[in-house]
Each structure stands twice: as structure tokens, then as C-alpha cells.
Amino acid sequence: MILKQFSRSVLLVAGLAVMGFAAHAQGDAAKGQALFQSKCTTCHKIESQLVGPALGPQVTSDTDDKYLTSWIQNNQALIAAKNPKAVAIYNKFNQSNMTVFADLSDGDVANILAYVRGEWKTIQAKPKAAVDPNAPATDSGPSDVMIYGLIGVIIVAFIIILVLNKVIGSLERLLLRKNGLVTDEEEAAEAQAKADRLAGLKKLGKNKKFVGFVTLCLTITFLIWGWVALWTTNVHQGYQPVQPIKFPHDLHAGVMKIDCQYCHSGAYKSKNASIPSLNVCMNCHKTVKTESPEIHKIYDALGYDPATMKYDSTKAKPMQWVRIHNLPDFAYFNHSQHVKVGKIKCQQCHGPIETMKEVYQYSPLTMKWCIQCHKRTQVDFKGNAYYERMAAVHDLIKKGVKVTAAQMGGIECGKCHY
């Protein structure tokens, strides 16, 4: 009797424990999504490896939720206790320490596991499309060769039609003449009509006023064309070369509000704005949009393997960017003077860069354009040591004090060496 009561008690406790564990394991996927996005996305993805393993297959294959909870809350304790599974994972990922989430309760972990397992089932249910990460992005627009080819085909077709019409007309006249349907008088009248038309053109060609008017129009047209050609020589406004990577400035500078100088860090401290190193791109794209074919071009250039997250310098190759804004060699332009001292925004020269899908030369960058900008730009003297010194020199000149070239910055290195 006592044994029977004890067995019932054990079965009851075991049943409650199983029910409780099952209820605990179910979790709330909606709450788990919020926790996953705030705690896990820096190092983990559900479907692929990032810093840590892909959580979808990992969590689905490992059904020991008690162990998973202990690992997430304090993996360092499991490793210190020489837990075989914990030590294996620790060694597999080069002994990289995972963040300890002691603030997550058992219920929070269950919610995360429920979300990951649900998302992994959804991902597996979707049909898989073969995607080549190294395949170049397709261009939907027609090429110039195709457009010019179509124009050429149309011109050739038009010429062929004219020739065929001429041949058909000659053959028709021969048939009519052979069948006696055309008389000599009708042919003579047709020939006379052609002669009259030619005579009219010859008469028009002898009209001095008409010839003078046509000559004047042609001369004006040629002069206008020549003036425009000379004025726009070496002016590349609207120039938009094809770059090796399609970098959308409207997304980075527009939607995401990334400051221009985060990438072009030389603009405020040196003559050149500088093209950013690909390592700057990897600050974000080591974990963001890793499936994009354009991002894989960065990986290929750096010799980076996203699966192992390692670099192979033997596979690295320079990225062949095409320069867009290019001043003549005799023109000196210093970015730092305009950005740091003049406090001029990038858009004043480069245009609405935050709206450009692909960057192009917005301004003409001619001498006239620069001079017009210098004429209308007011100088802010406050807090500017150079202009404050110039103002002090002018005050000395007004007082009749002798001023040397050195006082006006004449011995600065940049006056001669740049």
C-alpha cells in the first residue's frame, strides 16, 4: 500500500515536471523575436554562420533545452566545469568567448528558442533558389551598342526600301512599255517634268539672296557649335562611369544618414577626400547584407571567406575604382580648407549626393564656377585664427605700422610646398 502511494506520488511529480517542461519549452515566439533582435543578431543568424554558428539547425538538432538555457545564461561556467558539449563548441570557434546573458530568465530563453525554431521551419519550408554570390548584378537597361545597332539597322532598311522602290518603278515602266500601255508622248512629258524640277533647283541656286541666307545660317550654326565645343572642353559635368561595385549613396547617405566623412575621412584634414578602404565597408558588411552579390565583390577583393571569417592575403586584389571628379593638374584644391575652415557642405560642390543611386559629376568644376562661388560666399572670421590674423594685419596697416610678409603667413610651408 505504501509502495503504491509512493509510486503514484512519483508519477504525479514526474508528470507535472514533464508538463511544466513542455510548457516552458513552448515559449512565446513574438517575445522571443524581440529578445533575439536585441541580444543575438550581432553574432548570430538563423540560417547561416556569422560570428557564431547558425542557430536554426543548432537549436533544432539540440533538444536539451536545459543545457541550452545554461549555455546562454552562463556559457563560461559550463566551459570552466569541462562540460563536453560546451568545450567542443568553444574549441570549434577558436576559443572565442560568447557573451554571458545572466539577465535572461529561463522564460526569456524559452521564448528565444521558440522563435528560432519557428523561423528555421519557415526558412526550410521556402523553396530554395540557386544563387551565385559571385555573379555580377544584371543591368536591365539597353546598352549603347544595342541602341546604335538598332539605329543602323533602321537606316540600312530605309536605304534598301528606297532602292527597291526605284527598281520596282523601273520594272513597271518596262512592262508597261512592252505591253504598249505607255506612249512616247507620256514618257517625254515625264522627262520634261523632271527637267523642270531640276531647272527650278538651279534657278534657286542662282538666287544670291537665298544662297546668302543659307550661308549665313550655316555660318552661325558652325560658330555656335564651335563656341560650345571650346567652352565645354575638358568639362565632364554629368560624367557617370560604371564602378566595380554598385554603391548606393541614396541608401547610405540618404536613408541611413551616414555622415560623408565616416567614409571619406580625409575631407576635413587633408587635401584629398580619399576613397575609403574596403576595411571601412567591412565594419558593417561583415554582418550586414552578407548574401548580396555586391558585398561578395568586397569579400573577393579582400580575400575574405565569410564561412570561416578569415582573410587570405594571397587572394586579395585591389579594387579598380574609376575617378569621377578630376581637376586639371595646374589647379590646386584643398578639401580641408573648404570643409574644416570654410565649413562648406559636401553637397555644395558634389550636389545632392544623398539622392544619387550612382554618383555622377554634378557641378562643372570650371574656373568660372569656382570664382562665382568665391564671390558669393561670405567669410566667417569668428574662431578662425588665419582670418583673425589677417584682420589684425589690416588694422596695423591702417595705423601706418610696417607689415612684413611673414606677418601675413609668408613663411608658412604651404605657401611654396603643396
pLDDT digits (tens, 9 = 90+) for 155-173: 999 899 989 988 887 888 7
Report whether pLDDT(11) > 60. Answer: no
> Tell me, what's the pLDDT at 210?
83
H or E element that contains 130: none
Report which of 277, 401, 215, 418 is spatially closest to residue 335, judged by C-alpha positions. 418
Q: What is the pLDDT of residues 245-283, one digit of tens each?
A: 999 999 999 999 999 999 999 998 899 998 999 999 999
Q: Measure the CA–CA gap between 306 and 355, rounded to whole angstroms.
A: 31
Q: What is the pLDDT of residues 365-394, one digit of tens each?
A: 999 999 999 999 887 777 777 778 888 888
In the chain, CATH 1.10.760.10 sits at: 24-125
Q: Judge contact between 290 and 131, C-beta under 8 A.
A: no
Q: What is the pLDDT of residues 326-375, one digit of tens each?
A: 988 888 899 998 998 888 999 999 999 999 999 999 999 999 999 999 99
In terms of DSSP H, where are the helices of 40-143? Answer: 55-61, 65-80, 84-92, 106-125
Q: Measure the CA–CA gap between 220 and 299, rounded to whole angstroms.
A: 56
Confidence at 147, pLDDT banded by 50, 70, 90: confident
Report which of 145, 59, 40, 43 is spatially closest to residue 101, judged by C-alpha positions. 40
Q: Measure the CA–CA gap between 94 and 75, rounded to whole angstroms.
A: 15
Q: Please, what is the average pLDDT of the chain?
A: 81
Confidence at 418, pLDDT banded by 50, 70, 90: low
Who has greater pLDDT, 315 or 73? 315
Report whether pLDDT(135) > 70. Answer: no
Specify the CATH number of the domain 24-125.
1.10.760.10
